[in-house]
Every structure is written in structure tokens, then in C-alpha cells.
Structure 1
Amino acid sequence: MELVNVIDAAVDEVLRTAAAWLGWDGRPVRFDGNAWTPHKSLRRVTDHLIDHLAEIECRLAGLDPLPDHWHGRAVTTHADFARFTETDLEEATSRLTRLAVSYRARLHGLPEATLDERPGPDTWTLREVVHHVAGVTYYARAMAGDA
């Protein structure tokens, strides 16, 4: 699969999975040491996409990426326990597909050398970052209890 489409495929999988959460019974799914709800899963997907898109933008602009201060999956907020409705799925679809398009637009036309440059010994290449971000499907599968 072409790199510019990797995030699209991941977002498509997340949204297909999320469609099954309509009518969620309000009980969190316990998986991998955390409690998962539809809103938490989608929040983590969104946060992960935003975090690494910002990293890519900073790196391409020659700036140091901001450190990650997300609470991550260890935190389940009160808002995460809200009902999950058709409107929530529609909003998530709009949000996540726009983020996927932002990745596609940003990656489009970047030279292979730029994608494979390693700025430091402990730093991923941009190609590795994109493949890592495509792992956001974990958060959707965690809600199903089978990541």
C-alpha cells in the first residue's frame, strides 16, 4: 500500500469498527489493563493522529516537535462514559477523515529521502512514524476486547 494511503486505511478500519458501538450498553470493556468505552477509543485515535501530525509538521519545518503530554489510555474521563449515538459516529467520521486527508496532503510528493531520513539515533523516520500511527486501530480493537 502506498504510504499516503496508510492512514486512510487505518481510519476506515476504526470507523467500521466504531459503527458496531451504536447502542453501547454503558459498561466499559476491560482490556490490556485499561477500561475502554467508545468515546475513549475515538479520543485516543484522534489524539494519536493529532500528536504525530504535529510531529511531522514540526520536523519538516525544522522545529523540535513538542513533547507528548497526553494522559493516554491510562485515563478514562467522565465524558468517555457518555452514550454513543449516530451523531457521535458522524462527528467522529468527519473528524477522523479530515485528519486522514491532512496526512495524505502532507505526505503527498515528499521525496523518498525525506521519508527515510533519520534525524537522530533514537528518532523514527517519517515513514516509520506513519506506520506507527496506522496502529491506531489498536484503540478500536481494544474496545472490542481483541487488540
Structure 2
Amino acid sequence: MTNEIPITDDRSPALVVTAMVDHVLGLAATWTAWDGRPFQTDQRIYTPHKAIRRVADHLVDHLAELEARLAGHETVPDRWHASAITTPADLAPFTEQDLEEASSRLLRLARIWSARLNALTSDELDRSPGEGWTFRQIAFHLGGSVYYADAVGDLSTGH
């Protein structure tokens, strides 16, 4: 992931977010085959649980930012440890029940994002109130959350 200003294009911001979640869940469907060995990417460790945690945290963090800015409030800085830590929970086996929970969580967040972004006009997407990226740029930045899932990859072919 990067903090550079996200490049946008003519895709619907809502579709960018929902496509990211679909990509993540497509990979996650293979993660019940995980053998427990973490993956190292860019000096960080990733596991199925950590990838899901990072995607969900990213969606929640930027949703809180978007809603605060729309309401004219200051944004609250996140206090996530992000990818810098790997928790004991991140190292747990990834079961069918974990996949069901992750799917429910991420699909609901994607639906909230889709509803919110689709309710905004093009002008509101591109001239977002407050400090920071435009809402369109935030949506495209969230699209980059595939990074976390890609760090684990498709485990149907083995680790």
C-alpha cells in the first residue's frame, strides 16, 4: 500500500470498492488450505487472518473519515497497528467459519461503501469537503487493498 495520491479513472468508485472486496473474497475462498506458514512481503508478514483484518480496518477507517468530513467534523486518526504487527489471532488456522465471517463482514462493508458512494454526485466525489483526498481518490485507494490478499495469494495451488 502507498500514501501517494491515488490515480483515478472513469470506473465507478463504488464498483472499484466492491470489485476489491470480490477479489479479496475470491482469494480468501482458497485460504482454508493454508498450512500455517506466514508469507513475507515488503518486510511485513501476512496471513489469511491478517489480510482480512487489514482490508476490513482499511474500509472502516476511510468510511469513518468520509462520514466525518461529510458531517463537517474533524476526522479521528486511526490507532491501528496496521501491518506492523502480527497478532496471535493472525496466526490461527483459517477455517470455513472464518471465511463465512470474513465474507459477511467484507460484503456488508462493501455494500455500505457502494450505497454511500452512489449517493454522491460527481462533484461531491471530486470536491470533497475537508482536508485530504477526494472521495473518488479514497475509493480508488481502497481498491488497492487487494495488496493484502495478494500477499497471501491463491492457496488452491499450494504454498
TM-score (ref. length: structure 1): 0.92
Residue pairs, 1:45-84, within 5 angstroms: 45-84=55-94
CA distance in 2, matches of 1:17, 1:6: 17
Please provide the CA RMSD for this pair.
1.5
Q: Give how far 1:141 is off.
A: 0.5
CA distance in 2, matches of 1:96, 1:136: 12
Secondary structure of the residue aligned to 2:145 is helix
Name the counterpart of 2:132.
123
Question: Does residue 112 of structure 1 match 2:110?
Answer: no
Aligned residues: 144
TM-score (ref. length: structure 2): 0.86
In structure 2, give the amino acid aligned to 1:44. R
Q: Deviations over 1:67-126 (max 9, x none)?
A: 121111010000101110111111100000000000011112312111111546x62111
CA distance in 2, matches of 1:119, 1:62: 8
Question: Does residue 5 of structure 1 match 2:11?
Answer: no
Name the counterpart of 2:152.
143
Secondary structure of the residue aligned to 1:22 is helix
CA distance in 2, matches of 1:59, 1:77: 31
Question: Does residue 43 of structure 1 match 2:46?
Answer: no
Secondary structure of the residue aligned to 2:36 is coil
Question: Does residue 100 of structure 1 match 2:89?
Answer: no
Retained in 2: the 8 A contact 1:39–1:82? yes
Unpaired runs of at least 5, structure 2: 1-10, 155-159
Secondary structure of the residue aligned to 1:35 is strand
CA distance in 1, matches of 2:125, 2:21: 21
Secondary structure of the residue aligned to 2:45 is strand
Percent identity between the aligned chains? 53
CA distance in 2, matches of 1:124, 1:86: 37
CA distance in 2, matches of 1:18, 1:109: 29
CA distance in 1, matches of 2:94, 2:85: 18
